[in-house]
């Protein structure tokens, strides 16, 4: 008998929509690998800031990426063997991430890495272009939404757990600016895939969101028990 085909589940959506938490829990329930693509872009942003290069300099970014080692192990992010899990979530990295996300050089390289990570294993991958660009043939696609103020409130709570206290209005404004940029960019704009399951989780708990997603993924199962 041939090997069972691998299963790719994508979860896209704006910041604060709960993608990472939902993806981690869904991957755990399905016993799939988990890929946090946003962390990859943040790690490249951190590296660029440290190197003090112009974030729009494609040649400099090419040179930066060439020797770079980027690993995601469980909940840890390693940049050239350094644990940068906390550092990549800083407001400074967030504020500087837009040019990196818009870079053709960075996107091309990270898409290659993301597909390489997914090759040969069942995976839940979250980001902003997973169902549209990186894995257009994914088995099951989701696009998570939530009302802007609720998303900002979640972000504020997340930052507070990391020891960063920011006013809700500042977070909301930064979020609106980022949403606008992500939706308008020429390369891989943030939008739901045509065949994505849209989930507005404004008034849903994490458990409710993942229960719904798990049910949808399981509905893809063929009579043999495989996910079709």
- What mean pLDDT do residues 72-101 have? 91
Distance between CA 117 and CA 37 in Å, rounded?
A: 11
- What mean pLDDT do residues 18-32 have? 94
Q: pLDDT at residue 228 above 50?
A: no
The pLDDT mean for the chain works out to 90
pTM for the model? 0.86
> Collapsing DSSP states into helix, strand and coil, what is residue 195?
coil
- What mean pLDDT do residues 165-184 have? 87
The full set of domains in the chain, from first to last, is 8-218 (3.40.50.300)
How confident is residue 223, by pLDDT bands cut at 50, 70 and 90?
very low
Cα–Cα distance list, 48 to 10, 67, 153 (Å): 27, 13, 29
The pLDDT assigned to 135 comes to 96
The pLDDT assigned to 221 comes to 58
| β-pair type (8-12, 33-36) | unpaired
**Percentage of the chain lying above the pLDDT 70 cut:** 94
Structure tokens at 205: 């708990």
Q: Count Cα neighbours of 162 within 13 Å in the Cβ-side half-sphere.
A: 15
Q: Kindly tell me the number of DSSP H helices and DSSP E strands found in the chain.
A: 8, 8
The pLDDT assigned to 222 comes to 47
How confident is residue 91, by pLDDT bands cut at 50, 70 and 90?
confident
The pLDDT assigned to 224 comes to 40
Q: pLDDT at residue 2 above 70?
A: no
Distance between CA 22 and CA 181 in Å, rounded?
A: 24
Q: Which helix (H) or strand (E) holds 94?
A: helix 91-101
Cα–Cα distance list, 176 to 153, 154, 183 (Å): 13, 14, 11
Say what the alpha-carbon torsion angle 116, 7, 143, 79 is, to the nearest 10 degrees.
-30
Q: Which residues contact 94 (CB under 8 A, 6 or more apart)?
A: 42, 174
Say if CB 26 and CB 208 are below 8 A apart: no
∠ CA 170-174-180 to the nearest 5 degrees? 150
Distance of CA 17 to the CA centre of its chain: 11
Distance between CA 178 and CA 97 in Å, rounded?
A: 10
The pLDDT assigned to 88 comes to 94
Residue 154 CB neighbour total at 10 angstroms: 17
Q: pLDDT at residue 44 above 80?
A: yes
Structure tokens at 226: 């495989």
For 92-129, what is each residue's pLDDT tens digit? 998 898 899 889 999 999 999 999 989 999 999 999 89
């Amino acid at each position: 008998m041939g090997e069972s085909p691998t299963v790719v589940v994508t979860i896209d959506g704006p910041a604060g929509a709960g993608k990472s938490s939902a993806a981690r829990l869904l991957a755990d329930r399905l016993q799939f690998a988990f890929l946090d693509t946003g962390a990859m872009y943040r790690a490249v942003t951190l590296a660029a800031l440290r190197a003090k290069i112009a974030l729009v300099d494609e040649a400099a970014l090419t040179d930066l990426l060439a020797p770079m080692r980027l690993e995601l192990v469980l909940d840890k992010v390693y940049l050239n063997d350094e644990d940068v899990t906390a550092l990549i979530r800083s407001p400074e990295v967030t504020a500087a991430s837009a040019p990196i996300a818009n870079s053709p050089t960075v996107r091309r390289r990270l898409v290659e890495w993301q597909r390489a990570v997914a090759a040969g294993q069942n995976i839940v991958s979250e980001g902003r272009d997973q169902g549209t660009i990186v894995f257009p043939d994914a088995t099951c696609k989701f696009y998570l939404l939530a009302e802007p103020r609720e998303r900002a409130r979640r972000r504020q709570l997340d930052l507070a757990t990391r020891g960063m206290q920011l006013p809700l209005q500042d977070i909301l404004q930064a979020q609106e600016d980022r949403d606008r940029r992500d939706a308008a960019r020429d390369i891989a704009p943030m939008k739901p895939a045509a065949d994505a399951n849209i989930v507005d989780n404004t008034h849903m708990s994490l458990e409710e969101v993942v229960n719904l997603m798990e049910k949808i993924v399981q509905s893809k199962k063929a009579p043999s028990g495989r996910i079709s």
